[in-house]
Amino acid sequence: MNRAVVLTTIFFLPLPALAQGMMEYGAAAGLGSGLGAGVARLSTTTQPNNLPRLSAEAMKQLASITDRMTKAAVEKQKAGDEGGAAKVYRQLAEYREQVLGKTDKVAGDAYAKSGAISMKLGLFDQAESALKGAFAVCQRSNGPGAPQAVPILKQLGDSLTAQKKSDEAQDYFEQALKIEERVSGEGSPSACKARLDLANSMVQSRDFKEAEPLLKQSIDFMSSQEKADNGTLAGAMGQYAEVLKHNNKASQAEEVSHQLEAMKQKNGSSSEKKD
């Protein structure tokens, strides 16, 4: 549908479809009343990106709808209806994109919230769809490789991994790693975490040769840290030993396993002394 038609439908006609969709999730409490014909007319001018410029009254109504839908989503979360909240956030994102185009950051944030809630509920296919919407908005509004994309990329990778789409997940984890290395440096904790995410995805895809150097680099970094997360380090070492076995490096795998056991014993002794 032409965007001008969409805008006219939303701001000049009675909004039956929008009100019905929002009522379904309890988000439209009273929205239908007061948004009838003649609420706001569109200006004939356009913005530099060729989107219609909304009148002040139209923007006011858009802000009001956004506020009410956001509050409805929050209330649903408080009431324990996480699924309903995810749907309202998703609908808000799609609604604002229809009105303001594909670079609206509020829409991107709503997509991200819908995706995060869906991840929490284990609805990974829905999370994937919403997070891809959030990533697309982030790409358009902040540019490729923007640091704001990192949390979205990681969640996207997790949603795909949970659906056993490890090959596709690798692409998103790799993008997150490149951004972290560029912004925070190769030797940063955040880059190390992103590297482990990518390595784990590669292991899931049985791409052991590619995973091996990533795991080693991560283990070397964590081992050099004064306050390393021993649980994360132990997990990486265990995975590294298994990867080495798959790569026909049995002696190295055994050495890593011995190092892991020694670390566990040392940490166990330290815990006993504290007690």
Tell me, what's the pLDDT at 219?
A: 95
Residue 216 has pLDDT above 80, yes or no: yes
How far, in Å, CA of 128 to CA of 225, rounded? 34
Q: How many domains does the chain have?
A: 1
Residues 257, 241 contacting (CB under 8 angstroms): yes
* CATH number of the domain enclosing 220: 1.25.40.10
Tell me, what's the pLDDT at 52?
A: 54
- pLDDT bucket at 129, cuts 50 / 70 / 90: very high
- pLDDT bucket at 275, cuts 50 / 70 / 90: very low
Angle, vertex CA 175, rays to CA 173 and CA 181, nearest 5: 100
On whether residue 75 sits in a domain, the answer given is no
On whether residue 223 sits in a domain, the answer given is yes
pLDDT in tens, 139-193: 999 999 999 999 999 999 999 999 999 889 999 999 999 999 999 999 899 999 9
Tell me, what's the pLDDT at 16?
A: 38
- pTM of the full structure: 0.77
On whether residue 197 sits in a domain, the answer given is yes
pLDDT in tens, 51-76: 557 788 888 999 999 999 999 999 99
Structure tokens at 259: 């190092």
On whether residue 270 sits in a domain, the answer given is yes
Tell me, what's the pLDDT at 192?
A: 95
- pLDDT bucket at 227, cuts 50 / 70 / 90: confident
Instruction: Answer with the residue of higher pLDDT: 158 or 28.
Output: 158
On whether residue 58 sits in a domain, the answer given is no
Average pLDDT of span 231-247: 95
Q: Is 46 exposed, middle or buried (0-12, 13-18, 19+ CB in 10 A)?
A: exposed
Residue 21 has pLDDT above 90, yes or no: no
What is the span of the domain harbouring residue 197? 158-275
Q: Given phi > 0 = left and psi -120 to 50 = alpha, else beta, which region is 29?
A: beta
Strand (E) or helix (H) holding 189: helix 189-204
On whether residue 123 sits in a domain, the answer given is no
On whether residue 6 sits in a domain, the answer given is no
Tell me, what's the pLDDT at 265?
A: 85
How far, in Å, CA of 182 to CA of 133, rounded? 24
Instruction: Answer with the residue of higher pLDDT: 126 or 30.
Output: 126
On whether residue 45 sits in a domain, the answer given is no
